[in-house]
Amino acid sequence: MNVSKTVAFITILAMWLVVLTPSWSGQWETLQPVGDFDFFSVAFISTTEGFAVGSDPFEYEKPGAIGHTTDGGRTWKKVDNVAFESDLKSVFFLDDKNGWAVGANGLIVATDDGGKTWDPQTSKIGNGLSCVSFVDAKIGYIGGEGETILKTTNGGRTWKVLTGGQTASGFGDDDTSVFSAIHFTDANTGYVAGVRITPSNQGQETLIQKTTDGGKTWLKQPTNTEDILEDMYFINGTTGWAVGENGVIFTTTDGNSWKALDSGSEEKLRSVRFVSANTGWAVGGDMGVNVILHTEDGGTTWTDQSSGKLFAYDVFSIDTNNVWIAGQNAIIMKYTK
């Protein structure tokens, strides 16, 4: 037996194993749920402290609920000093103090003390609100049902309706748009995604629209599909992703044109998040089906990391070692390497 050849073979084999082993090679851990309600959205202000918002089905008069963790998501407590008459659908933190949550029936609530207290803000509309994005402590945008886009320039003390046939151009008068996602990359440049239902329910089309003037006008960006988009995320002013029904994923690198990617899944994707131009997750599923997809090449290829049977509503990440999923039955999952 030639010892040197054997050692050389083992060395080469070990090198190939390192190359072939996926660099993510981590695992998803299901953490302690909070009650029996659904978490629709999650956001962390540090690697240890975060918030999740959703609906408590056993609180008939005030179902809107907020969960809070201070140990990285391992344990959660329902915030007892707040209760809202409508479900909360989305939460967004600008920094460790300032955050907003939006929900059904035009509900907007805000905190300026890191989530200790939450106070209502007046939207003056009754439409369901599903997404929120702030670019600084003063300028923020909210999207929702009925072609609704709201804008504030004073941190939410007052909100102005940009759409619904009022001040914004670029939306068809005879169409009804539902915005599931909104993302602004600066005070003037932003995107909305969702679905447009044509007059008399003659059909629907995927909707991505862009503004470069702070929401005054919007330009449609074609995707050549009818699948409803559920979420979008940008890592800079031009590079972003959008996900939706039937496993659809789109990406843009110039902020203007969108290319379809092959997710390898036909399940609904409800949320997408990237920590770099290459590394990201898309999550979703439906009753009895959990979908977690991971990419390390910008979405060209996706690896299935699905775990369990409870579907996911939202994914949030700080870096590759701190990624959380919120979903059905108050499920919280954390990804660790």
Q: Are 248 and 226 in contact (CB under 8 A)?
A: no
Q: Are 258 and 252 in contact (CB under 8 A)?
A: yes
pLDDT value at position 195? 86
What ranges in the chain are assigned the alpha helix state H? 3-20
- CA separation for the pair 29, 295 (Å, rounded): 19
Q: Are 261 and 243 in contact (CB under 8 A)?
A: no
Cα separation values, 135 from 46, 230, 300, Å:
18, 21, 29
Which helix (H) or strand (E) segment holds residue 281: the answer is strand 280-286
Cα separation values, 315 from 76, 83, 194, Å:
17, 24, 18
Is pTM, for the whole model, over 0.85? yes
Q: What is the mean pLDDT of each run of 10 residues along the chain (337 residues)?
A: 44 37 66 76 97 80 85 88 85 98 95 94 92 97 92 97 55 68 96 80 78 94 88 96 96 96 96 97 90 97 88 94 90 86
Of 76, 69, 87, 82, nearest in space to 33 by CA: 76
In the numeric block, which tokens belong to residue 102? 């939006």
Strand partners, 251: 241, 259
pLDDT value at position 206? 83
Q: Can you list the positions of beta strands (E) in 70-146? A: 77-78, 88-93, 99-103, 108-111, 119-121, 129-134, 140-144
Alpha-carbon Rg for the chain in angstroms: 21
pLDDT value at position 9? 40
- CA separation for the pair 248, 159 (Å, rounded): 33
- CA separation for the pair 259, 67 (Å, rounded): 36
pLDDT value at position 200? 54
Cα separation values, 258 from 14, 36, 186, 192, 204, Å:
40, 39, 20, 13, 19
Cα separation values, 75 from 68, 70, 224, 329, Å:
8, 8, 43, 15
Strand order in the sheet with 219-220: 176-184, 190-197, 204-211, 219-220
Strand partners, 50: 44, 69
Name all domains of the chain by residue range, CATH numbers in brackets.
28-336 (2.130.10.10)
pLDDT value at position 203? 65
- CA separation for the pair 38, 327 (Å, rounded): 6
**CA angle 253-259-263, nearest 5°?**
110
Tell me how far apart the 2 most distant CA atoms of the chain are, in Å.
Answer: 84
The distance in angstroms from the start CA to the end CA of the chain is 39
- CA separation for the pair 107, 275 (Å, rounded): 30
